[in-house]
Chain A
Amino acid sequence: DAGITQSPRHKVTETGTPVTLRCHQTENHRYMYWYRQDPGHGLRLIHYSYGVKDTDKGEVSDGYSVSRSKTEDFLLTLESATSSQTSVYFCAISILSSYNEQFFGPGTRLTVL
C-alpha cells in the first residue's frame, strides 16, 4: 500500500459537464500519473507530473487537463465530459528505486451519459 487514495470512487455524469478527479498520496512521492483503463487497451497514460506545477502529456491527453499545486494532490479534469471518456481512471505514483516501479490507487469508475 503506497498510501494512494482516489476520489470519488464512482461517478455518473452527463455529457458536457465538467468533472474533476482527485488523487491524494501521503508519502511525498515526486512522480504521479493518471491512466485510463479500457477493455482491449490495458492502461494508457493521460498525463503525469514530476513535481509541483510540473506536468506533461501522455499518449491520450486530448480532452483532459491536470493540476498539481501540492505534492500530495494531483487533479485530473475533464472540462466537458464526453461519452468516450467513460472509463476507469487510475492514479499512480512512482517509487524512486532501481526499478522505478509504479503503484496504483484503487481507481475511479466514471460513466458519462
Chain B
Amino acid sequence: AQTVTQSQPEMSVQEAETVTLSCTYDTSESDYYLFWYKQPPSRQMILVIRQEAYKQQNATENRFSVNFQKAAKSFSLKISDSQLGDAAMYFCAYRSANHMRFGAGTRLTVKP
C-alpha cells in the first residue's frame, strides 16, 4: 500500500520569509497525482496545489510552488512571502485510481 510521510510535525516561519514543507511517499505505481491541502483553524480542507506524476515541470500557484522529485519520491511545498493567513495544518496527499492517502500533517506557524 502507498504511504505518505511528512517528517516535520511542526514548522515556523517569519512573516514575509520562505518556508519549505517536506513530503515523501512510497509507491510502485508510475501514474499518480500529488496534492497539498491546507487546513486552517476553521477545519475546512482547502486544496492548495496539485501535480501529475508524468509532468516534470513543477506546479506553481501564486506564492505556492512544489519541488517534485519523482525518482526520490519527494514532493515538497514551498511557500514564499509567508503571510499570517498561511498559518494552518498542511497535508500532503497521494492519489491513484479512486484512493487518496494523506500524510500526518505539518503544523505551520507564522510569526509576525
Q: Which residues of A contact B (CB under 8 A)?
A: 31, 33, 40-45, 48, 50, 58-59, 88, 90, 92, 94, 98-104, 106-107
Contact = CB atoms under 8 A, between A and B. Distances in A.
Given A99-B33, A100-B95, 17 more contacts: A33-B100, A42-B4, A42-B6, A42-B105, A44-B102, A45-B99, A45-B100, A45-B101, A48-B98, A59-B1, A88-B43, A99-B35, A99-B52, A101-B35, A101-B47, A101-B50, A107-B45
Interface string B65-95: 0000000000000000000000000010001
Interface centre among B1, B91, B105 (most CB of A within 10 A): B105
Interface of B: 1, 4, 6, 33, 35, 43-45, 47, 50, 52, 91, 95, 98-105
Nearest to A95: B47
The binding surface of chain A is classed by DSSP as: strand
A92 B47 CA distance: 12
A25 to B, nearest CB: 15
